[in-house]
Amino acid sequence: MEKQTLALHSGYDSLSGYGTMAVPIYFNTAYNFGTADMAADRFTLKDLGYIYSRLSNPTTDVFQKRLAALEGGSAAVATSSGQAAVFATMANLVKSGDTILMSDKVYGGTVTLLTSSLANFGVKTKVFDAENTNELESLIDDTTKAILFETLSNPQISIADVDSIVSIANKYDIVTVADNTVLSPALYNPIKDGVDVVIHSASKYISGQGLSIAGAVVSSPKLNEKLKNNSRYPLYNEPDETYHGLVYSDFTDSFDIFSLRLVFRVLRDFGMTISPFNSFQLIQGLETLDLRMEKHSKNALEVAEFLANHPKVKSVTYPGLKNSKGNKIAKEKFKDGLSSGLLCFEVENYDIAKEISDKTKIFSVVVNIGDSKSIITHPASTTHSQLSQSELKTAGISSGLIRLSVGLESAKDLIADLKQALD
Ligand SMILES: *Cc1c(COP(=O)(O)O)cnc(C)c1O
């Protein structure tokens, strides 16, 4: 089936329950096991039915199944935020002493999570260039457990060289993790290009209207094979004493062991569970994702073309623009060459950048992306203000850089708004 159809129907049978067409919100913490034996079977994972909503919930299940179908994954696990999705993924792969290879162009929260908070837990991070991967292989050693990058990065709008990252990772049987927040499953599916784990901040395009904070982790049908009997990943191949010595690799291939462990170890212990209400809202978001991504992308292209011709604008970064650096890959990999709603442009300096954001009337000064309403952000004074000068430079963020998240308004009005702010 095509993605537009899956987004509306997969993971839910409207003839189940009361026959409701909309997926019901199961606003529920606990489940009645009926008998003590059934309760015991659930706790030893002999029966994978519902135990408690920190682990799983019927409304959340529909969202997870639908997202997995849209990404071409074997399973998905929703989390309370995108940050939680990144943390949960890493907690499902690394132990103290291990190393994560992280792209130099990722979300500011991912940088601080890995380089500071996970460093406090004894997990090391090494940085690589996701556009030019020449040095990536030299960073790999026995402690390397994950290679993390963003498919289209926020806020630099840089496209990762997915094919080469995947081929290097596969040579060493290392798990690749792609944050696909900016493109969304409507425009690109990293799993089809061999990525093992796809992360989303569902707070952005999937939620769609700036409504819910949420995240998700999708695993590839090929990930079981990479983890099983791979000495790099003891968490999957050695007994889990908290489940009486269960070994995740012993599950048959009808179970996705990465998402199984993510639920039964990571959600169980760290508790970054999504609310069923937010899962319900994300289900509504998925229904229109395809339509919205098309309109976001078309509006962004019109805005980018306007900015590229404005004398006060030093440069525009948008892969949808002809002659831009990413245009060739965008055309080759993204649905119809559509490049999402995010773009960056550079003006002379910090003060001018701040002045422009103050003068816009339709674009709001907000640190978010993927809302239906257009947003203007000055990363150097907001999202990336915690980074040092040298970290900003590595992240490719100049002080005059402005990020736009182009919404679903009329492109004509958006361009008029930017014109009066720039002139
Ligand atoms: C926003 C964002 C995150 C973090 O997600 P939250 O839902 O805000 O916690 C992670 N990665 C990218 C690319 C993002 O844009």
The whole-angstrom distance between residue 114's C-alpha and the CA centroid of its chain comes to 15
Cα 27 to ligand 1 centre (Å): 25
Strand, helix or coil for residue 71: helix
Counting from 1 in the atom list of ligand 1, the atom nearest the Cα of 370 is 15
CATH class of 3-277: alpha beta
> Where exactly are the structural domains of the chain?
3-277, 291-422
Name the residue at shortest CA distance from atom 7 of ligand 1.
82
Residue 50 reports pLDDT greater than 80:
yes
DSSP secondary structure of 328-393: HHHHHHSGGG---SEEEEE-S-HHHHHHHHHH-SSSEE-S--S-SS-EEE-GGGTTTTTS-HHHHH
Q: What is the pLDDT of residue 382?
A: 85
Pocket test for ligand 1, best of 157, 197, 204, 340 (most atoms within 8 A of CB): 204
Residue 288 reports pLDDT greater than 90:
yes
Q: Which two tokens stand for residue 357?
A: 């954001």
Distance CA 215, CA 200 (A): 5
Q: What is the pLDDT of residue 367?
A: 87
Cα 14 to ligand 1 centre (Å): 32
Provide the mean pLDDT of the chain.
Answer: 96
First CA to last CA distance, the chain? 49
Distance CA 56, CA 65 (A): 12
Instruction: Name the DSSP letter for residue 287.
Output: H
Q: Which two tokens stand for residue 233?
A: 């990943």
Question: Considering Cα of 391, then 393, then 396, then 402, what sign does the dihedral take?
Answer: positive
Cα 208 to ligand 1 centre (Å): 13
Q: What is the pLDDT of residue 292?
A: 98
**Is residue 289 within 8 Å of residue 206, measured between CB atoms?**
yes
Pocket test for ligand 1, best of 201, 281, 368 (most atoms within 8 A of CB): 201
Average pLDDT over residues 29-47: 93
Average pLDDT over residues 334-344: 97
In order of 153, 206, 216, 285, 397, the CA distances from 184 in angstroms are: 12, 7, 12, 12, 23
| 324: Cβ contacts below 8 Å, ≥ 6 apart | 316, 317, 318
Cα 107 to ligand 1 centre (Å): 7
Pocket test for ligand 1, best of 87, 154, 200, 206 (most atoms within 8 A of CB): 154
Q: What is the pLDDT of residue 168?
A: 98
pLDDT-derived band at 420, boundaries 50, 70, 90: very high
β-sheet bridge partners, residue 298 = none
Q: What is the pLDDT of residue 314?
A: 96
**The residue to which tokens 């990020």 are assigned:** 403
Name the residue at shortest CA distance from atom 6 of ligand 1.
82
Question: Considering Cα of 194, then 262, then 126, then 227, what sign does the dihedral take?
Answer: negative
37-51, 163-177, 289-303, range with the lowest pLDDT:
37-51
**The residue to which tokens 């002045």 are assigned:** 355
CATH superfamily for 291-422 is Aspartate Aminotransferase, domain 1 (3.90.1150.10)
Whole-number CA gyration radius for the chain: 22
Name the residue at shortest CA distance from atom 12 of ligand 1.
107
Q: What is the pLDDT of residue 346?
A: 95
Cα 206 to ligand 1 centre (Å): 12
Counting from 1 in the atom list of ligand 1, the atom nearest the Cα of 182 is 13
Average pLDDT over residues 254-274: 97
Cα 272 to ligand 1 centre (Å): 15
Cα 17 to ligand 1 centre (Å): 35
Strand, helix or coil for residue 52: strand
Cα 309 to ligand 1 centre (Å): 31
Give the Cβ contact number of residue 10 at 10 Å.
Answer: 17
Strand, helix or coil for residue 151: coil
β-sheet bridge partners, residue 219 = 75, 197
Residue 379 reports pLDDT greater than 90:
no
pLDDT tens string 92-134: 999 999 999 999 999 989 999 999 999 999 999 999 999 999 9
Counting from 1 in the atom list of ligand 1, the atom nearest the Cα of 214 is 7
Quick one: which H or E segment has residue 100? strand 99-103
Cα 101 to ligand 1 centre (Å): 18
Pocket of ligand 1 (CB under 6 A): 81-83, 107, 109-110, 150, 154, 179, 181, 201, 203-204, 213, 215, 369
pLDDT-derived band at 396, boundaries 50, 70, 90: confident
Percent of the chain with pLDDT over 70: 100
**Is residue 404 within 8 Å of residue 306, measured between CB atoms?**
no
DSSP secondary structure of 203-266: TTTTT-SS----EEEEE-TTHHHHHTT-TT-HHHHS-BGGGTTB-GGGS-TTS-HHHHHIIIII
pLDDT tens string 164-211: 999 999 999 999 999 999 999 999 999 999 999 999 999 999 999 999
Cα 221 to ligand 1 centre (Å): 24
Q: Which two tokens stand for residue 420?
A: 């009066």
Q: Which two tokens stand for residue 203?
A: 């707070």
pLDDT-derived band at 143, boundaries 50, 70, 90: very high
Q: How many residues does the chain have?
A: 423
Name the residue at shortest CA distance from atom 1 of ligand 1.
201
Q: Which two tokens stand for residue 411?
A: 């492109």
**Is residue 79 within 8 Å of residue 272, measured between CB atoms?**
yes
Q: Which of 317, 403, 399 is nearest to 360 (CA)?
A: 403
Counting from 1 in the atom list of ligand 1, the atom nearest the Cα of 213 is 7
Q: What is the pLDDT of residue 182?
A: 98
Pocket test for ligand 1, best of 80, 81, 83 (most atoms within 8 A of CB): 83
Instruction: Name the DSSP letter for residue 113.
Output: I
